[in-house]
């Protein structure tokens, strides 16, 4: 298993993985090739791919605002699960954030993603009961 930086050349395989992954809600603009290219250009050192035998096995997108790190689109193909790939991707992005001077990381997970939430809890990401998450779509084309 090889963990390396995710590049725009991985887009088609990554998007295919995200489409079949529980808990990843894709957005038409944000997750388009243009949207992901923009994200990767802004965060070149905190997005990773796991591959084996030239096959994309998993992804993780990490970004930050200079103060906090945020994780998006952590996914591992079903045929590669339970082999430590997800944990290796989490560790890769956490270490990248540390190198960039980021001291805290956050992510959002949908409640119905039981397996994903169990995995995140095992990786040290507890549920925050003291906050209310809100968001607003600023572009109606980004469905």
User: What secondary structure does DSSP assign to 9-66, as a single string?
Assistant: GGHHHHHHHHHHSTT----TTTTSHHHHHHHHHH-TTSEEEEEETTEEEEEEEEEE-S
What's the CA gap between 113 and 55, in Å, rounded? 25
pTM assigned to the model: 0.93
Please report which confidence band the pLDDT of residue 49 belongs to, taking 50, 70 and 90 as the band edges. Answer: very high
Give residue for tokens 């997108």: 61
Mean pLDDT across the chain, nearest whole number?
95
Average pLDDT, integer, range 28-41: 97
How many CA atoms are closer than 13 Å to the CA of 16, on its beta-carbon side? 9
What proportion of the chain, given as a percentage, has pLDDT over 90?
A: 87
Residue 38: per-residue pLDDT: 98
Q: Given the DSSP bridges, would you call strands 2-5 and 47-52 parallel, antiparallel or unpaired?
A: antiparallel
> Do 69 and 63 contact (CB within 8 A), yes or no?
yes
Q: Is the pLDDT of residue 9 over 90?
A: yes
In the predicted structure, residue 75 carries a pLDDT above the cut 90: yes
Domain-wise residue ranges, the chain:
2-122
The predicted model gives 74-97 an average pLDDT of 97
Tokens of 29: 């603009």
Q: What is the pLDDT of residues 89-141, one digit of tens each?
A: 999 999 999 999 999 999 999 889 999 999 999 999 999 999 998 889 899 88
Q: Which fold would CATH assign to domain 2-122?
A: Aminopeptidase (3.40.630)
How confident is the model at residue 142, as a pLDDT? 85
């Amino acid at each position: 298993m090889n963990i390396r930086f995710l590049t725009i050349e991985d887009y088609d395989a990554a998007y295919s993985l995200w489409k079949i992954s529980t808990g990843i809600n894709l957005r038409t603009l944000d997750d388009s090739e243009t949207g992901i290219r923009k994200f990767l250009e802004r965060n070149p050192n905190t997005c990773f791919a796991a591959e084996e035998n030239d096959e994309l096995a998993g992804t993780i997108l990490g970004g930050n605002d200079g103060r906090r790190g945020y994780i998006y689109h952590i996914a591992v193909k079903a045929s590669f699960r339970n082999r430590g790939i997800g944990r290796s991707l989490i560790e890769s992005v956490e270490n990248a954030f540390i190198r960039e001077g980021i001291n805290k990381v956050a992510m959002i997970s949908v409640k119905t993603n039981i397996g994903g939430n169990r995995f995140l809890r095992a990786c040290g990401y507890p549920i925050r009961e003291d906050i209310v998450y809100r968001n607003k779509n600023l572009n109606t084309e980004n469905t």
